[in-house]
Amino acid sequence: MKTTFTLFKIALVLLIIVAPGKIFSQTYYDLYLHNGTTGTIKPAAGTAFAAGDQVIWTDTYNGTPSDLAPQAYTSPDLVVNTTSYSPGLHTFTMRVRSGTTGCDSDPSDAKTVFILPATTVTFANATDEDYCENVGSPSKTIVASAAPVTIALPDGIGYNYEWTITKDGVAATHADAGTLTALAGTSTRETTSTFTMTTENVGVYLFTVKASYFKLDGNPGTVKLGATPAQFPTASPKKVTVKAKPAKPTIEIS
């Protein structure tokens, strides 16, 4: 009985050590594309071809493999872009078709390309809000959320947020209105960004938020977002009005 209990304890310790790695394991891909970028997949240097050989690429998308048009061995490279390929995971392999026998080689090992989708940015509460300037210690929280369209965002990709504020139609700084909560860093995907409005200065404040992608720490893949990463703005600004208080009254005794 003692031996059985000891083995149970050992198994339990191993489960505690190993399980977190299983639960939180990440799946990464070779290449991520967005915003008009391209990637090239090609035969490795030294790949031997014979006269008349053809190269056939297979794109497996949503579990369905599709052969692309055969290419001459003299121009074997495959260019992948964000226009011709739908958002999501594409798994590419290559075969060589002999120009002499017409037989195909075994497929190569795969390379993976993830076409990043568009993203929507919304406010948790999009309705207009207001408060009085003499509320005491005002604290109104505005939360913007980013979410990909049609498909889930892959591991290894996070969001940057850019907040723009105007007061009565004039550009304002973050400090003019309150405090923007700092993001956790480049190791955590942030699906929300929070601004806490604390100003007592009377006026109409409009908040617009733009989200863009960036590569998270630990992602070994190549991420191409363009020279200027695409930004996805909120459909319409969030409006918060700080209302003026009436003049202080005076009283008298008669």
Q: Does domain 31-115 have CATH number 2.60.40.10?
A: no
Please state, in angstroms and rounded to a whole number, the distance separating the CA atoms of residues 154 and 175. Answer: 34
Residue 88 is which amino acid? G
pLDDT of residue 25: 85
Top-confidence range, 16-30, 123-137, 165-179, 180-194: 165-179
Tokens of 74: 């003299």
Average pLDDT over residues 32-59: 96
* pLDDT tops 60 at residue 12: no
* pLDDT tops 70 at residue 144: yes
* pLDDT tops 90 at residue 34: yes
Instruction: Indicate the pLDDT class of residue 84, thresholds 50, 70 and 90.
Output: very high
Instruction: Indicate the pLDDT class of residue 24, thresholds 50, 70 and 90.
Output: low
CATH 2.70.50.50 maps onto the chain at: 31-115
Q: Is 215 exposed, middle or buried (0-12, 13-18, 19+ CB in 10 A)?
A: middle
Q: What is the pLDDT of residues 118-135, one digit of tens each?
A: 999 999 999 999 999 987
The answer to whether 190 and 159 have CB atoms below 8 angstroms apart is yes
CATH 2.60.40.10 maps onto the chain at: 119-220+227-243
pLDDT of residue 11: 43
Segment holding 97, helix H or strand E: strand 88-97
pLDDT of residue 187: 80
Average pLDDT over residues 183-189: 82
Pick the CATH number of 119-220+227-243 from 3.40.630.10, 3.40.50.970, 2.60.40.2140, 2.60.40.10: 2.60.40.10
